[in-house]
């Protein structure tokens, strides 16, 4: 159980009781240490039932989580990049923070419709006529 809260930004704080950590054996670098010490971290966060997130952020986070989200709405982040348990723990929490920050980002502004410039229309039509000439010249010669 992770005890300290995770501060996402000034408005979003995930309480420590909402995060669950599980330590498992990791592969990769570490020598004999890999076979003896559980250094990889699995961080579980109930995305669907969390009181810390509003509906828009929750929906965006579910979309961004992809396969890391279970059917019950629990997000699992596995971190095994580093050789120490503490660094993997920090890495998992940082990745959760990044995911929620991306989900909380404001939507992009709507696109403003613009008309093509006169020059771009003329260039397009000139290029189109040029292509038509090339294709016409590829045809069989006329029997005049």
What the block records as the tokens of 61 is 């986070």
Enumerate residue ranges in the chain where pLDDT < 50: none
What the block records as the tokens of 96 is 């959760």
pTM to 2 decimal places? 0.70
Q: Would you say 100 and 68 are in contact if contact means Cβ atoms under 8 Å apart?
A: no
Q: Quick one: pLDDT at residue 14? A: 86
Which residues 6+ apart lie within 8 Å of 115 measured at CB? none
Distance CA 136, CA 144 (A): 16
Q: Would you say 43 and 96 are in contact if contact means Cβ atoms under 8 Å apart?
A: yes
Q: Is 43 helix (H, G, I), strand (E, B) or coil?
A: strand
Q: Quick one: pLDDT at residue 31? A: 66
- Domains of the chain plus CATH, in order, are 6-104 (3.30.160.20)
CA distances in angstroms from 143 to 132, 140, listed in the order given: 21, 9
Q: Quick one: pLDDT at residue 34? A: 66
| Centroid of chain to Cα 61 | 9
Q: Quick one: pLDDT at residue 143? A: 61
């Amino acid at each position: 159980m992770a005890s300290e809260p995770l501060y996402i930004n000034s408005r979003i704080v995930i309480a420590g009781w909402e995060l669950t950590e599980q330590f498992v054996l990791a592969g990769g670098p570490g020598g004999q240490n890999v076979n003896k010490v559980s250094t990889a971290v699995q961080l579980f966060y109930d995305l669907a039932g969390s009181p810390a997130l509003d509906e828009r952020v929750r929906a965006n986070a579910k979309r961004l989580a992809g396969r890391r989200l279970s059917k019950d709405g629990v997000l699992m982040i596995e971190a095994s990049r580093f050789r120490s348990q503490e660094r993997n723990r920090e890495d998992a929490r940082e990745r959760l923070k990044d995911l929620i920050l991306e989900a909380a980002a404001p939507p992009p502004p709507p696109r403003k419709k613009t008309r093509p410039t006169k020059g771009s229309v003329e260039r397009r039509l000139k290029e189109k006529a040029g292509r038509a000439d090339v294709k016409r010249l590829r045809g069989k010669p006329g029997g005049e």
